[in-house]
Chains A and B, each alone.
Chain A
Amino acid sequence: MATQLIDRFAADLPPDKRASVYQSTKATHEKRTKLLFDHFADPNHLRATAGEIKQHVIENLDTYLPIVEAKLAANGAKVHWAATAESACATVLGIMKARGATKMVKAKTMVSEEIGLAEYLGKHGIEALETDLGEFIVQIDHDHPSHIVRPIIHKNRREIARSFEREGLGDYNDDPGTITRRARKFLRHKYLAADVGLTGANFVSVESGRIVLVTNEGNSRFSLAAPKVHIALVGIEKLVPRDRDLGVLLNLLARSATAQQLTVYTEFISGPRAAGQPDGPEEMHVVFVDNGRTEVLASECREILRCIRCGACLNVCPIYRQASGHAYRSVYPGPVGAVLSPLLAGKQFPELADLPKASSLCGACQEVCPVNIPIPDLLLRLRARGKAEGAPRAAVASPPMGAWALLASQPAAWKAALLGGRLLNVLPTKFIPVPALRAWEEKRTLPAWQGGRFRQWMRERRKS
């Protein structure tokens, strides 16, 4: 039987990488669970409430988007709208060109990856530098992040030390403290030289128009302290009704993502710097990005738009732990990616139609999801879509069910099969006529075949 793409990625993953992905996802998952249950009387009620808040938001985007737009404008930000990835890139470029800007620092934005912004700007002679330590390393290696929260979970310190040496960031030294110090020294001058600081948004409060950003490293703070222009790329689903609701979501996000009570820096940004302040942006632009989200909203899988990108579903997923992030061939890996990536792919859906099958449907992802997304249900809906659309990748490694259907709908064939089942009890393994079954039987002992007596039992019951 042909193997699924994800199995091939898993098979090619070097054992030491698999071990480190496994160890660190498991450790974060366990700490997360302990923290939530130690801290809150009813963490599952908390998750359910967070899910309801976000579901309310996405089902009322038609009302909320114009309100938040007006609020942002009143706060002094300029609001832009981008229907596609190309248009979002062009909007950012337009803002930069109008100011003669040539250098950008980026912090905390998955949307920029999704739309391929750095590459696009590079073609137009603009440097767009990643500032999160992990993302920076990914960028100098021309690699891709393999985890939503831990982008270089797939790299070890020796590989990083070699990359730093190659890039002229000092002699080979694989001490994590030294690596971090060198990045600190290098990047701070990049912030100071940059014209534009680009960020994403973890949340946007409709009530106040505040954009909320959380980081542990402080890179988004630096991106909003040194450059003169701030651009925020925001997926249209990132809204939260009131500032008060942030209490639920912030409490869940830090614990779910990194098992912290609160992320080190939580920023609430509602506009350019106040008059007379020495640092901070003079202009703020907010670009609302659709890029497929309205299609997701129209689909049977709109619940995935609740996602707050915490990575908890990756950490707990048995498939992610075996295959790591690159196996998902898209910006969003793991269970969330198995749903979101094919949906956002638009016409390229068939290329990722195998991802919804990269799941054992064990349900762990929903159990940990801070916004209680029914990921297993969504995966099933997408499997059905893949089959309905006849996407070849959706069928790879699915056992053919035709023979089964025939068997189950013909009484004579069914009876014969049941008899065959009874034969298995007495037949020595080497005489089993089906090679796959023989291989299976060699390693395991089947429980004794019990089937085939129901009809007899019914007949006797009727007689009496």
Chain B
Amino acid sequence: MSTERNEILARVRAALAPLPRRAPLPEWDHELIQLRAAQPPGDTWAQFFQRFAAVNGTPLKSGAELVALLEQGGWRRGYCDPALWPALEGFFPAAFQVETTFDRARVDDYDFGITAAVGAVAETGTLILSDRGTSSRLAALAPWVHVAVVRPDQIHSDLSAALAALPDDPNIVWVTGPSKTADVEGILIEGVHGPGVQAALLLG
């Protein structure tokens, strides 16, 4: 144990010793952070896609829609998680170049990255990525287009539910829309360091 550690902790104890009592942890229940317009339980995926579109996400319902999006943008070179590729390969015409390993030395060569999400949050339109669930952190981040593939059973109704179910994983990322900034004169620009197009593909 370092001396600095003990020094800091001793100072903390000394600072707090004169307090006659310590502030208790407040009790609060879920209603406190419940949104007013909370949807009645029902089609949480419909709610997710509505919220996801509201934060400029691109909802996709099928492999065919995914390929149409990529063709429209002229995004033909990309990465796909090897575990997802067998299910998607059939949708991709021969003109596409899709790799199943991400070579960081050629980071600028990838127009899109397709990786698995481990969940979604309906209330906020959020996708949940994780370290173990994502085949390559860089492939989910560096290309202009990121496609997160979600399964129907992975939805949480709201933030509280998602927090209660945080997986045991060293790096969980909640993604709510494309990367963005308003640093220059408050003008919104998408695609700063991360994807300029954030898509979610629901695969049943």
Residue A440 CB within 8 A of the other chain = no
Is A184's CB under 8 angstroms from B184's CB? no
Closest Cβ of chain A: how far from B101's Cβ, in Å?
8
Is B25's CB under 8 angstroms from A241's CB? yes
Closest Cβ of chain B: how far from A264's Cβ, in Å?
5
Given contacts A27-B186, A266-B173, contact A210 B23 (CB under 8 A): no
- The stretch from B41-49, B61-69, B88-96, B190-198 touching chain A is B190-198
Interface centre among B102, B126, B184, B193 (most CB of A within 10 A): B193
Is B186's CB under 8 angstroms from A24's CB? yes
For the complex, what is the distance from the CA of A267 to the CA of B126, rounded to whole Å? Answer: 12
Interface string of B151-178 (1 = CB under 8 A from A): 0000000011001101001111111111
Residue A169 CB within 8 A of the other chain = no
Is A251's CB under 8 angstroms from B194's CB? no
Is B19's CB under 8 angstroms from A294's CB? no
Closest Cβ of chain B: how far from A279's Cβ, in Å?
4
A20: B residues at CB distance < 8 A: 185
For the complex, what is the distance from the CA of A27 to the CA of B186, rounded to whole Å? Answer: 10
Residue A128 CB within 8 A of the other chain = no
- Using a Cβ cutoff of 8 Å, how many contacts connect chains A and B? 251
Residue A131 CB within 8 A of the other chain = yes
- Residues facing A in B1-43 (CB within 8 A) are 2, 4-5, 7-9, 11-16, 19, 22-26, 28, 31-37
For the complex, what is the distance from the CA of A422 to the CA of B126, rounded to whole Å? Answer: 69
For the complex, what is the distance from the CA of A251 to the CA of B176, rounded to whole Å? Answer: 13
- Residues facing A in B122-173 (CB within 8 A) are 124, 126, 131-132, 135-138, 141-142, 159-160, 163-164, 166, 169-173
Interface string of A167-189 (1 = CB under 8 A from B): 00000000011011101100111
Is B166's CB under 8 angstroms from A243's CB? yes
For the complex, what is the distance from the CA of A42 to the CA of B29, rounded to whole Å? Answer: 13
For the complex, what is the distance from the CA of A250 to the CA of B16, rounded to whole Å? Answer: 27
Closest Cβ of chain A: how far from B197's Cβ, in Å?
13
Residue B50 CB within 8 A of the other chain = no
Closest Cβ of chain B: how far from A150's Cβ, in Å?
7
Residue A391 CB within 8 A of the other chain = no
Is A294's CB under 8 angstroms from B160's CB? no
Is B137's CB under 8 angstroms from A221's CB? yes
B22: A residues at CB distance < 8 A: 56, 59-60
Name the residue of chain A whose CB is nearest to the CB of B18: A298
Count of chain A residues near B, Cβ 8 A: 98
Partner of A65, one of B9, B108, B126: B9
For the complex, what is the distance from the CA of A20 to the CA of B175, rounded to whole Å? Answer: 31
Is A280's CB under 8 angstroms from B28's CB? no
B176: A residues at CB distance < 8 A: 261-266
Is B23's CB under 8 angstroms from A52's CB? yes
Partner of B24, one of A40, A49, A56, A247: A56
Is B172's CB under 8 angstroms from A268's CB? yes
A269: B residues at CB distance < 8 A: 170-171
Is B160's CB under 8 angstroms from A59's CB? no
For the complex, what is the distance from the CA of A262 to the CA of B5, rounded to whole Å? Answer: 35
Partner of A248, one of B16, B19, B33: B33
Residue B182 CB within 8 A of the other chain = yes
For the complex, what is the distance from the CA of A80 to the CA of B23, rounded to whole Å? Answer: 28
Given contacts A60-B22, A65-B12, contact A157 B185 (CB under 8 A): yes
A82: B residues at CB distance < 8 A: 4
Closest Cβ of chain A: how far from B120's Cβ, in Å?
13
Is B163's CB under 8 angstroms from A247's CB? yes
A80: B residues at CB distance < 8 A: 2
A294: B residues at CB distance < 8 A: 8, 11-12, 15
Residue B181 CB within 8 A of the other chain = yes
Is B179's CB under 8 angstroms from A218's CB? yes
For the complex, what is the distance from the CA of A423 to the CA of B26, rounded to whole Å? Answer: 59
Residue A400 CB within 8 A of the other chain = no
Interface string of A35-50 (1 = CB under 8 A from B): 0001111100110010
Is B8's CB under 8 angstroms from A83's CB? yes
- Residues facing B in A264-315 (CB within 8 A) are 264-274, 277-280, 288, 290, 294-295, 297-298, 302
Given contacts A176-B187, A251-B159, A270-B170, contact A183 B192 (CB under 8 A): yes
For the complex, what is the distance from the CA of A181 to the CA of B132, rounded to whole Å? Answer: 30
Interface centre among B160, B178, B183 (most CB of A within 10 A): B183
Given contacts A82-B4, A218-B194, contact A279 B138 (CB under 8 A): yes
Name the residue of chain A whose CB is nearest to the CB of B135: A278
Interface string of A62-104 (1 = CB under 8 A from B): 1001100100000110001111000100000000000000000
Is B142's CB under 8 angstroms from A188's CB? yes
A216: B residues at CB distance < 8 A: 179-182, 192
**A/B interface sample: 11 pairs, CB < 8 A:** A60-B23, A81-B2, A133-B181, A192-B107, A243-B163, A251-B33, A264-B179, A265-B179, A278-B135, A279-B102, A280-B137
B→A interface (CB under 8 Å): 2, 4-5, 7-9, 11-16, 19, 22-26, 28, 31-37, 55, 102, 104, 107-108, 124, 126, 131-132, 135-138, 141-142, 159-160, 163-164, 166, 169-187, 189, 191-195
A→B interface (CB under 8 Å): 20, 24, 27, 38-42, 45-46, 49, 52-53, 55-56, 59-62, 65-66, 69, 75-76, 80-83, 87, 131-134, 137, 150-152, 156-157, 160, 176-177, 179-181, 183-184, 187-189, 191-192, 208, 210, 216-219, 221-222, 224-226, 236, 241, 243-244, 246-248, 250-251, 258, 261-274, 277-280, 288, 290, 294-295, 297-298, 302
4 further interface pairs, Cβ-Cβ under 8 Å (given A226-B104, A251-B159, A262-B176): A61-B16, A150-B182, A177-B189, A263-B176
